[in-house]
Amino acid sequence: MLADLEAGTINGLLVYDLDRLHRQPSELETFIDLCAELGLTNVASVSGDIDLTTADGQFQARILGAVAKKESDDKSRRIRRKHLEIAAEGRVSGGGSRPYGYEPDKVTIRPAEAAVVAECAKRLLAGEPVRSIAQDLNDRDTPTSTGGKWSPQSLRRMLASPRISGQRAHHGEIVATAAWPGIISPEDGARIRALLANPERRTNKAARRYLLGGLLVCSHCGERLVARPRTGGKRRYACARGVGFSGCGKTYINAEEVEQFVTEAVLHRVDSRDLQRAMERRQQQAPEAERWWKEAETAQEQLEELAAAYGQREITIGEWKAARKPIEQRLSAARKQLAKVTHGGLLDSYVGHSDRLRADWDSLDLSQQHALVAAVIDSVRVGPARKGYNRFDESRLEPVLRP
Ligand SMILES: [Zn+2]
């Protein structure tokens, strides 16, 4: 329009109201300048004609513009406030299509669909990829709420929605318990969001595993070190601090080397008569150990996923706290059990035959290796790194053998 005025294609302007002409007062100033330049005197509007080349006309236009801007600001403020109010009360928002799992009132659960939601959530948390779940739903002719086919994206969106756990979100933040019932628990909801926010963590699970999980202790603060790879992916254990961790953040150690060192120590130790005696005492409790170790490891992973999701603002602090509690309880229960139970069972056939164990070592899976290490070693204290010393420094390590 401005270009047409300048080119002389049009020589007058009709607007419904002067505040429709511009959104910002500064745009009015540009327009006034243009009118003066072109000698454009006839701007007509329903609420009255204005000659923008006169001082009176400009004054009038500025007042009208300022009033209109304030009204429009007030209006959007009011709308925003209203939306927040509705959200904070956990009420449904207007518009949009019927959410999956619920009737068109968005409050009443539709049982057949709710069963699908619960099933998908369970399968996802058990480690099944979203893509395969979506494929399965389509194969079973289980359509979306609009009758269409599921895509991995639409299924991911549905499962990540706080709505299905009975929570009300506003601009991506959970602000209230919803006025409608949830289909899954808020804890599962938070875990799903953490998981979906970080899908590659799940799929690379095997590669992320660490032989000495829970066995290394920071000599500085006494906390257990956790798996914490470098940004380049090189495996490393660290005394983690920050969200979800209570370590000092000072101790790091390269995983490859410490694992090799500890493995050697274990393979050497297997020959000793002490071990044989220790094993005879504890043998009957052995089979349980692996189960508890796996349980502890899974819980630890979930805590890390949650912390990462919170760190990236994918879940709120409230969600994070709520989701963390039951996992921490599981973790500490598993650790307690693990401490009670000896990991010796597997060692049985290897006692006194460290050469055979050495030969078999690489063919054992990680949980078996871990069980063997934990049968021999109570913990390894990891001291501070020597400044400027880049090679593996075994003087940092102080293994504490099982009695
Ligand atoms: Zn520490």
pLDDT at 122 exceeding the cut of 80: yes
d(CA 214, CA 292): 12
Tell me the backbone φ, ψ of residue 167, rounded to 5 degrees: -125, 145
- Average pLDDT of the chain? 79
293 Cα: distance to centroid of ligand 1 (angstroms): 22
215 Cα: distance to centroid of ligand 1 (angstroms): 14
**pLDDT band per the 50, 70, 90 thresholds, residue 275:** low
Stretch 364-374: mean pLDDT: 74
Instruction: Please report how many Cα atoms fall inside a 13 Å half-sphere around the Cα of residue 108, on the Cβ side.
Output: 4
d(CA 270, CA 264): 10
Parallel, antiparallel or unpaired: strands 216-218 and 167-170: unpaired
**pLDDT band per the 50, 70, 90 thresholds, residue 244:** low
201 Cα: distance to centroid of ligand 1 (angstroms): 25
Q: What is the model's pLDDT at position 310?
A: 77
7-41, pLDDT tens digit by residue?
888 878 887 777 677 777 778 888 888 888 887 77
Stretch 216-245: mean pLDDT: 84
**pLDDT band per the 50, 70, 90 thresholds, residue 304:** confident
**pLDDT band per the 50, 70, 90 thresholds, residue 102:** very high
Tell me the backbone φ, ψ of residue 173, rounded to 5 degrees: -105, 140
324-354, pLDDT tens digit by residue?
888 888 888 877 776 665 444 556 666 666 6
Q: What is the model's pLDDT at position 101?
A: 96
pLDDT at 140 exceeding the cut of 80: yes
238 Cα: distance to centroid of ligand 1 (angstroms): 8
Report the percent of the chain where pLDDT is more than 90. 19
- What DSSP string runs through 194-241? HHHH-HHHHHTHHHH--TTTTTEEETTT-PBPEE---TT---EEE--E
Q: Please, are residues 239 and 223 in contact by the beta-carbon 8 Å criterion? A: yes
Q: Residues 71, 77, 83, CA angle at the centre, nearest 5°?
A: 135
223 Cα: distance to centroid of ligand 1 (angstroms): 6
Q: What is the model's pLDDT at position 351?
A: 64
- What DSSP string runs through 81-115? HHHHHHHHTTPPPSSSPPPTTB-TTSSSB-HHHHH
205 Cα: distance to centroid of ligand 1 (angstroms): 25
Q: What is the model's pLDDT at position 200?
A: 45
d(CA 252, CA 234): 12
pLDDT at 207 exceeding the cut of 60: no
Taking CA atoms, 271 is separated from 148, 215, 341, 356, in Å, by: 65, 21, 22, 11
pLDDT at 112 exceeding the cut of 50: yes
Stretch 155-174: mean pLDDT: 88
128 Cα: distance to centroid of ligand 1 (angstroms): 35
Report the percent of the chain where pLDDT is more than 70. 82
217 Cα: distance to centroid of ligand 1 (angstroms): 8
Predicted TM-score of the model (pTM): 0.40
Residue in this structure with the two tokens 């030969």, named with its chain if needed: 359
pLDDT at 256 exceeding the cut of 80: yes
